[in-house]
Chains A and B, each alone.
Chain A
């Protein structure tokens, strides 16, 4: 029963992903590794689409993964699965909002959860780096260390880093501009 499993996987994601949209990423990689419903490379593409379309990233990712796994019903079920635990939790704490925010155990738990979430996102990012910029299979066949790295991709990443972080005129631009520019570079230089 793929729909039930899909709902359950996303219910867990919604329950344990702390700190907004990108925090769902490590959970989605975990789902990909365990179920084989979609590949890690597909997931990287989904991030780009989710960033470039309206709607919160976390929700977009859930819809996309659900659709890839089980069509339109899958898209709806994955999204509802993601939202369900959040709705339940908020409905419970809405009555005791002030007490919840000031509770020292909640505060202490989140002191530990924030760096955890960051570490998980960074690890998911490392996996995307491996997919986008390394060629382990080419290195395995030639044995030349410089064949491990996709130099075109590294150069593009360096240029993007400069434009998104250092150049004053471009660093405030929406990610969609950089995504489209990268797509163009990919086509022109046949990545």
Chain B
């Protein structure tokens, strides 16, 4: 039981100290998992990150499952994952509960109208940041634009796009249009 509890607590600490997720989490993981606990080497951590990039889901959860599994088996994976999401559940529930009560105040409405403009800019910046890694050639550019346009104008589930593009990726690679 002790290693499971330790995994839960260590990843709960990672969850609390992470703002934003993804790469923002890397230095915190390094300190907590590599330096303090010695559960993984720096190279292993980079491997987990690379796998997190090529599996579905949130990278923080993927990495937690990986380290937990390597340290204490399947239960270890489950406990580390529960640890990393635990702070979010507590903190967001508290904030959401409070905000719901204040949502109808005019000043709060104005504040969120301003915040929404900021969210547009943040998403735009995220798209720019992802661009280089996601769109290496013409075929990928066509896929990206196609998904964007169809998704804006038609009511299609994102799952359809994901399945279609996974197939297109394999087809393009086999046809040899990749990298051109």
Which residues from chain A sit less than 8 Å from chain B, CB to CB? 12, 14-22, 24-27, 30, 33, 41, 44-45, 47-51, 53-60, 63-64, 67-68, 72, 75-76, 79-80, 82-83, 85-87, 89-91, 93-94, 97, 100-101, 104-129, 131-133, 153, 156-157, 160-161, 164-165, 174-176, 178-179, 181-187, 189-191
Contacts and interface: CB of A to CB of B under 8 A. Distances in A.
Contacts, number: 370
A131 B114 CA distance: 11
A45 B116 contact: yes
6 contacts: A27-B158, A79-B89, A112-B140, A116-B164, A123-B151, A129-B120
State the main secondary structure of chain A at its contact with B: helix
In the A-B complex, the 10 residue pairs with the smallest Cβ-Cβ separation, listed nearest first, are A112-B169, A186-B114, A119-B147, A56-B21, A55-B88, A86-B57, A116-B165, A58-B58, A191-B113, A115-B144
A8 B134 CA distance: 29
Interface residues of B, number: 96
A54 to B, nearest CB: 5
B138 to A, nearest CB: 11
B117 A132 contact: yes
B58 A120 contact: no
A19 B130 contact: yes
Contacts of A48: 112, 115-116, 118-119
B117 A120 contact: no
B91 interface: yes
